[in-house]
Amino acid sequence: MARHLITSAIPYINGVKHLGNLVGSQLPADLYARYLRARGHEVLFLCATDEHGTPAELAAAKAGKPVAEYCAEMWQVQSDLAEGFRLSFDHFGRSSSPQNHKLTQHFAKVLDKAGLIREVTEQQMYSVADGRFLPDRYIEGTCPNCGFESARGDQCDNCTKQLDPVDLIDPHSTISGSTDLEMRETKHLYLRQSAMKDQIEEWIDTRVGWPVLTTSIAKKWLTDGDGLQDRGITRDLDWGVPVQRGDEPWPGMEGKVFYVWFDAPIEYIACAQEWVDAGKGDDWARWWRTDKGAEDVRYTQFMGKDNVPFHTLSFPVTILGSGEPWKLVDYIKSFNYLNYDGGQFSTSRGRGVFMDQALEILPADYWRWWLLSNVPESSDSEFTWELFQTGVNKDLADVLGNFVSRVTKFCRSKFAEAVPAGGTPGEAEARLIADLSAKVAEYERHMEAIEIRKASSALRAAWVLGNEYLQEAAPWATIKEDPDKAAMQIRLALNLIRLYAILSAPFIPDAAAAMRAALNTDDAWPDDVASALQALPAGHAFAVPDNLFAKITDDQREDWQARFAGKRD
């Protein structure tokens, strides 16, 4: 079996994440990790909180807490919510960890030695009212490219164009709102990305089968204007990784920290070191160092499209520029945006449904299924309460939940809470096996290719086949004339529930676990459908599970629509 390294874009520490954040990186990464583990592959699935930079400082100031204390508290909140959504991280780390500090400073040292870092004396925005330089995300204004009125000083969240604060139209401080800004001289370090342009372009050309969204964004940044530009990697902030060359001071850089987008991707590697130091693993290097065994690893990253430039360009410049044998990403699965009810989800603006709120009103599986089956792969997608209600009720309650309930309750009432004996499968069963085999192969093919919406459609179609068989077989009528045949039909249907539990587990792990527990069975991935439908022999005891999925009522939907129509408290 192969070894798979999976990372999800690490979420900012500044508050609870919304459902758009969840479906844009962590949730599909978890789906893929769960599927690969189920198929017997060795998987290391890593994520962390992104704790440095202006979002952390601003959020801590708003909360009235020291930034270190705030980050520690919010790490726990995000960790608990990840567990609530059943995100199966092997380790959930922190970019503020000692491991990431040391590794970031190491990369800075080797990049400087390679001639890829230069010192620049430049003019930067200074807020007279705030009495400080304003790094990128302390400044907002109108994007000169698309006209978006809330563009930030490093990037426009609307069109993803990389910006400098001086590019913004009508800029203002996000701390005080002041427009009394002026340019003052300061000194910073720049990563010489331009020197790596040809090497980065050649490397991107070797990445096979990347999504069009990923490659188009990367190529655009390489070719637009003057191409790949040098990028500042230090900031005038108090909170972050201190600027050093390894363990040595960096003269002239006292009191500065590394830019969050320099140290945050390095946390992917540091997170594996944290995993080992936490006693969860024993060899991080075999996942990350190609001279230690990582050449056999397939590395897949998951992220929203706004993160693509940093992962296709800046982080590879760091890795390749170091000249050291680090593992580079093999495949980047990027996503468009999930919009909320005619607008955008927004953490900073408190718009939409947030992870804690979602779990307060419904179990994780409801959200996992709808979000993954509507994941914004080829284009932006839209969350509305009507679509959510319809998807949950039709797919989970009417198709899967109803099948499980009808089969187990019928068996209990007509036979016993054990798989019934008797009967011989016929043409209808042979057709079902053939149709299911084709659908399971389609499901596996799409999961291997990380085509999530297609995979969810194939899985739902497999559920539908069971319902169609049950309607055709009609064991409730057959039992009156041929009890043995009805027993065979129900025996097959009980085995079908087991198959559904195994196939569905990456999408809806809690419901799948409930099905397996009720059937008192294992979760081994089937070699083929025909054998899977004979796994539970006659006499095998089971229990009727509780209702797997309650339908969302119109009253509930209307209540939630009203509750989440405005800004988060």
Look at phi and psi of residue 352 and say left if phi exceeds 0, alpha if psi is from -120 to 50, else beta.
left
**Per-residue H/E/C for 97-160:** CHHHHHHHHHHHHHHHHCCCEEEEEEEEEEECCCCEECCHHHEEEECCCCCCCCEECCECCCCC
312 in a labelled binding site: no
Return the DSSP state at 397.
I
Question: Is 159 part of any known ligand binding site?
Answer: yes
Identify the sign of the CA torsion 269, 274, 275, 277. positive
Q: Report how far residue 343's alpha carbon sits from residue 523's, in angstroms, rounded to the nearest whole number.
A: 41
Answer for the pair 410, 473: CB distance below 8 angstroms, yes or no: no
Residue 329 DSSP one-character state: P
411 is known to lie in a ligand binding site: no
Is 333 strand, coil or helix?
A: strand
Collapsing DSSP to helix, strand or coil, 183 comes out as strand
Q: Give the DSSP letter of residue 232.
A: E
Does the annotation list 271 as a binding residue?
Answer: no
Dist. CA 432–CA 438, nearest whole Å: 10
Contacts of residue 558, defined as CB under 8 A and 6 or more positions apart, other chains included, come to none
CB 498 within 8 A of CB 521: yes
| Cα 137 off chain centre by | 23
**Annotation-wise, does 146 bind a ligand?**
yes
DSSP code of residue 548:
S
CB hemisphere CA count around 206 (13 angstroms): 9
In what side-by-side order are the strands of the sheet with 343-344? 343-344, 338-340, 381-383
Which phi and psi angles does 181 have, rounded to 5°? -115, 145
Residue positions in the annotated binding site? 143, 146, 156, 159, 347
Binding residues for ATP: 347
Binding residues for Zn(2+): 143, 146, 156, 159
